[in-house]
Amino acid sequence: MEKKNNVHKYLRIIPIVGVLFFLGLVIYAYRHGIFQSTDSLQRFIQQFGDYAVVIFVLLQIVQVIIPILPGGISSVAGMLMFGNGFGLFYSCLGLIIGEAIGFLLVRYYGVSFVQLILSPKKYQKFDQLLTQKTKDIKKVLCLTLLIPFAPDDLICLVAGLTKLSFKEFMQIVILLKPWSVGIYSMIMLFLFHKAQGNL
């Protein structure tokens, strides 16, 4: 029985250790300027060769749980590297997986996990949303996923602490997330090209 309890403790700790490990890698990469521009991000991902897609998807997953990139850089980098269609597909894949992991981690570890990954300012916003929006969480989730640039990642974390089932949550995210990612990414790509003088 005691051995079983120890195994359960380790299983609870592993996801947090994984998040902290990724956070360490992200801080290292951030300090070395990898996330400062689409060019530096592309160079970083391309060095992995055949595994570039896997690294890109992993970055998108982490991006949901720990916001590390200035808005749109990862999506634009993906579209420039893999083409608009595949770039958007890989972005959506990583972001949807990230939303699922974030939801499950919040549901399992509760507010303590949210405090671990959010800055005090973002946590305050999270706390306000949790107090005000839990009754209408499905409506709010749909709305924020439909509107590009809305704080949908924060709402997804809030959803993890409500009675919304994981199945319902995933149905909403899979149906609506590609819409907001697509619009957001195309706008950012347009602005990127405009800034580069390619239009």
| Structure-model confidence comparison of residues 8 and 173, the more confident one | 173
| Higher-pLDDT residue of 62, 68 | 62
| Burial class of residue 92 (count of CB atoms within 10 Å of its CB; 0-12, 13-18, 19+) | buried
Distance from C-alpha of 88 to C-alpha of 93, rounded to nearest angstrom: 8
Global pTM exceeds 0.85? no
Q: Mean pLDDT across the stretch 165-192?
A: 88
Mean pLDDT along residues 57-76:
75
Residue 58 has pLDDT above 80, yes or no: yes
* pLDDT tens digits for range 90-148: 999 999 999 999 899 888 888 888 877 777 777 787 777 777 766 788 888 888 888 87
Report whether 140 contacts 155 (CB < 8 A): yes
What's the pLDDT at 7? 46
For the stretch 6-17, pLDDT in tens is 545 554 565 556
> Would you say residue 186 has pLDDT above 60?
yes
Amino acid present at 133:
K
Contacts (Cβ under 8 Å, ≥6 apart) of 121: none
Confidence of residue 26 (pLDDT cuts 50, 70, 90): low
Tell me the percentage of the chain whose pLDDT exceeds 90: 13
